[in-house]
Structure 1
Amino acid sequence: MKQTIKNEFLSHLEVINLTIETMQDKLEQASLLVVETLKNGNKILLCGNGGSAADAQHIAAELVGRYKSDRRGLPAIALTTDTSILTSVGNDYGYEKIFDRQVEALANKGDLIIGISTSGNSKNIVNVLKLGRELDCKTVGFSGYKGGIMNEFCDINLIVPSNNTPRIQEMHILFGHIICQIVDDELS
């Protein structure tokens, strides 16, 4: 059991070291995009499936509530939380449209859509990023592996250099926390 624990820590450290080497510039760009979006009076719309849905909700909560600093609440919406919308749109239009319909209803030019998918290929995430571009929103992806199809539809795709889903998810929430810290630094 102790060896399993040690192996998990070592696997995490390996991925974090690779991520530090490859993602600092893109993470800075994504953070600046979030800050600019909020300073311009626009909002952040976040989405993902499964654990990525939980990450979307977590990051939105950090922005609306607070991360570390007491500051005004910031406009961020996790598109994963309204079960009535998710199930009605899924039923009427298909699961691949559950985020599209919400973006059609809620997004304005200049808003930022953050799509989270460990593979970078989740159809509903790819669809919403594509739609976001059509609506003149900025788009940021949190992905893994090689970024998947999301690469085509993201202004910035933060790609964790790993094919290990748990490690990718760990980096995604770290990306979210780093962005929130920069938001706190710039908007507090």
Structure 2
Amino acid sequence: MLEQRIQTQFFESADLKYQAADALARPVAQAAQMLVTGLTSGGRVLVAGLGGSATLALWLAQALTGRHERDRPGLAAIALGADGVALAAIGAAAGPEQVLARQIEALGHPGDLLVLLREHEAHDTALLAAVVAAQQREMTVLAITGKQPGAVGAALADTDLLVAVPHERLMRVREMQLLVLHCLCDAIDLQLLGEEDPE
């Protein structure tokens, strides 16, 4: 019984990835191009998420400043909210809905990009404030959400981009967000470094 349930998890995950490939290929390619254009023009990438998405935000910032699979010069990326002590201090001073927005106001500049990871509606107030702060700083926003992007999706401008995972179950959304981030890093490396020589 338990083994069947575990197998079902694998099958559901695989089915979602297969079904989402067509729907997400174009927006993920557009997102990769947006990031490369911003980075090569001197912009920085600010990555933000709350809850489980904070871990994914930290991973993306590390993959950009360090490396994904190939060696290349580091790219300017900062994970917002990565320091729990600072996050708590900002929340205490400005309110929990401003924890990301305050960092964007302090660190964001025109030409920078905000990559925002949204799992579900629980953090919408803080994520919406982050989008508004980024737009006020003349930053471009890339929102990677679940099937229902909520207030975050509604707040995006024409120059922003939405990548909406076509699922509502939290663990499936997180799995797909990680895959989207892997695809973004691979596409960025491809555009900056070209095709890898066959071994």
Q: Which runs of 4+ in 1 moved over 4 A?
A: none
- Cα distance in 1 between the residues matched to 2:106 and 2:50: 20
Offset of residue 60 of structure 1: 0.5
Decide whether the 8 Å contact of 1:113 with 1:137 is kept in 2: yes
- Cα distance in 1 between the residues matched to 2:151 and 2:20: 20
Q: Unmatched 5+ residue regions in structure 2?
A: 194-199
Q: Unmatched 5+ residue regions in structure 1?
A: none
- Cα distance in 1 between the residues matched to 2:45 and 2:178: 16
- Cα distance in 2 between the residues matched to 1:168 and 1:90: 26
- Cα distance in 2 between the residues matched to 1:148 and 1:69: 36
Amino acid at match of 2:77: A
Give 3-state SS (helix, strand or coil) of 1:108's partner.
coil
Amino acid at match of 1:163: E
Most deviating of 39-48 and 8-17: 8-17
Deviations 1:96-155 (A, max 9, x none): 101111111111101000111122562111110121112110001010022211112331
Paired residue total? 188
- Cα distance in 1 between the residues matched to 2:128 and 2:16: 25
Amino acid at match of 1:139: V
Aligned to 1:75: 76
Deviations 1:49-104 (A, max 9, x none): 12100000001100011001111011000002123321111001111101111111
Most deviating of 82-91 and 23-32: 82-91
Aligned to 1:179: 184
- Cα distance in 2 between the residues matched to 1:88 and 1:118: 24
Give 3-state SS (helix, strand or coil) of 1:113's partner.
strand
Aligned to 1:138: 140
- Cα distance in 2 between the residues matched to 1:143 and 1:68: 25
- Cα distance in 2 between the residues matched to 1:168 and 1:4: 19
Aligned to 1:63: 64
Amino acid at match of 1:135: R
Aligned to 1:16: 17
Q: What is the RMSD computed on CA atoms of the aligned residues?
A: 1.2
- Cα distance in 2 between the residues matched to 1:158 and 1:47: 15
Give 3-state SS (helix, strand or coil) of 1:122's partner.
helix
Greater gyration radius:
2
Aligned to 1:93: 94
Amino acid at match of 1:38: L
Give 3-state SS (helix, strand or coil) of 1:99's partner.
helix
Aligned to 1:49: 50
- Cα distance in 1 between the residues matched to 2:93 and 2:110: 26
Aligned to 1:159: 164
Offset of residue 183 of structure 1: 1.1
- Cα distance in 1 between the residues matched to 2:8 and 2:186: 29
